[in-house]
Structure 1
């Protein structure tokens, strides 16, 4: 299947054991598992889809609160194509060796752990319920369960942060066999615990940018190639599902707060778990995926924007003044620009919003 034909399914699992202090995703803390009624609601919506996906993504929340039997039913209902990438997000303190073996047997091919830091004090500050030791143990169990694609998340520019903390976290993930790493800056979101009461010791924007650039350099040194603003992978281990988003391809989201883009039309489910389970919640149309969306998404990728494809899809070409601006960006190390392809460098990715303001 070519990338132009690719189609993915995202299943939102809005259940967590607790709410992290930085988290603004739609979730229901306090859950010990995923109610069977919720799984049945997902199955109900999957039954309406007739298109076979080549990626399935269990996101949340904490999808690892699903049982292997529930995961198996959902994968069978999604009816993925042979060789599909099937990802399940997990917290290190939720999984057991038996659960991980069960997920693999159910068809999950890629396990993604929210590890964030190797510093236990930092983890407690963030509201995480695992430790560095339990993270290392979970990674070991994932390898023993047969997972060849293991992902780990690192949060940057945390309170009282240092390059040494990043190096310790990178070492934990690398020694744990991670083939893919997401490294992203902490963002204080309104409505979160940190939004109401920001922690002390947060780095200023310049320091945060330096932490990001240091992370990019170190990850590249260790063989994790940056392919998107916050994503790095061993060769061939890039996340196929998220590439659908960034390349403006079709994906179907199911569950409260889940978003879809099908045939260029964006839709979303309201934040209403009870309504979703009861079948009373209805998807809402959000708009269309236009040239502005395509530009924004393509410039997240290190491969960048093919301006001829941009023109062919949306009839948009950069003006003479915009091309001059891009030449200046290239001269100052923020971009690579040859008149046909625009690629932002790591320094350019930090100021992506400013560059986009000149191009939209």
Structure 2
């Protein structure tokens, strides 16, 4: 059974206007005390021997605010398996060729840049602190530092969005040597700055769906095969860490607001950095991961849900009513079904929540 390790780095320069993740804006680095706290939790979960995860993911916040030597301490303590995928999320304005070479030397072998748009006016609207020029420079620096597994994020259906803006952003990321692209619709979260003061010029739901389908088509055309609702990769460059989530594997998340699922049991750390630093916040149990979670997560993947695996793992079979609904989805162009595997099409992924509501 694969194990994924997630290390949350909550520090960042500034809060993007769409972001509702737990983070600390106004920071220029990661305190040594925070790295020590993560090391403490690592040893708590693996007191006798290192965890040896199959994947290690530095998420945030802005993990590229770590110094390479801090990342090395954490990687060395976790002792990932040989050939493990070790990902660092990075904001373009926070990296240099020197820092990226340091991360590479520390053991990071996959870098993920939050680009979002190739237009500086849009980046300012989003509250992103980088420019398109800095994004291009970051990709070039990553290649020079020896990275061959590079991901870039594109945000779709932004204020006053056009297909041309998507094309420009894809050109920047593809031209930067990306082997993986995450492309996802802007979601207005209630607790974000956009939630409190929505921007003008947001596309309608139908327009957003059209932008999504256009993105899927263009990404496939450029050799990025869709393997999950928002993720596209060149062959062999699918994100292994997130696949552990979607396949209901074991993953351990360390840091404030980090979530875990180990042995079918879910738990999380309270979103309180001070308590995490002071060792006064124990993980909170959050129920179990079962058949319903498996169905939901598998239907995010283009490969779909294997009914044989569903039965083998959870003893579940589709009812006559569920099978009739599936056939309706197939006729509507929302799904494919060969009697053994149910997979949603791009059009079906757009209305995935409605489909799941019916299936469940």
Report TM bin, short chain: over 0.9
Q: Offset at 1:313?
A: 1.3
Structure 1 counterpart of 2:27 = 31
2:3 to 7, 19, 24: 7
Q: Once the two structures are superposed, what CA deviation does each residue of 1:197-253 show, in whole Å capped at 9, x if it has no partner?
A: 000000000000000000000000000000000000000000000000000000000
2-side partners of 1:34 and 1:357: how far apart? 42
Structure 2 counterpart of 1:79 = 79
Unaligned ranges ≥5, structure 2 = none
Match status 1:284 vs 2:302: no
1-side partners of 2:203 and 2:228: how far apart? 23
Structure 2 counterpart of 1:54 = 54
Q: CA RMSD in A?
A: 0.6
2-side partners of 1:280 and 1:309: how far apart? 41
Q: What does 1:65-144 align with in structure 2 at a 5 Å threshold? A: 65-144=65-144
Structure 1 counterpart of 2:153 = 153
Q: Offset at 1:312?
A: 1.5
Match status 1:251 vs 2:251: yes
Aligned residue pairs, count:
356
Q: Offset at 1:332?
A: 1.4
**More displaced, 32-41 or 44-53?**
44-53
Unaligned ranges ≥5, structure 1 = none
Q: Once the two structures are superposed, what CA deviation does each residue of 1:230-277 show, in whole Å capped at 9, x if it has no partner?
A: 000000000000000000000000000000000000000000101001
1-side partners of 2:297 and 2:350: how far apart? 15
Structure 1 runs of 4+ with >3 Å offset? none
What TM-score do you get using the length of structure 1 for normalisation? 0.98
2-side partners of 1:46 and 1:77: how far apart? 8
Structure 2 counterpart of 1:300 = 300
2-side partners of 1:254 and 1:137: how far apart? 31
Q: What does 1:123-272 align with in structure 2 at a 5 Å threshold? A: 123-272=123-272
Q: Offset at 1:64?
A: 0.3
Q: Once the two structures are superposed, what CA deviation does each residue of 1:44-103 show, in whole Å capped at 9, x if it has no partner?
A: 011122431010000000000000000000000111010000000000000011100000
Match status 1:22 vs 2:22: no
Structure 2 counterpart of 1:311 = 311
1-side partners of 2:325 and 2:267: how far apart? 35
What TM-score do you get using the length of structure 2 for normalisation? 0.98
Q: Offset at 1:322?
A: 1.0
Q: Offset at 1:167?
A: 0.2
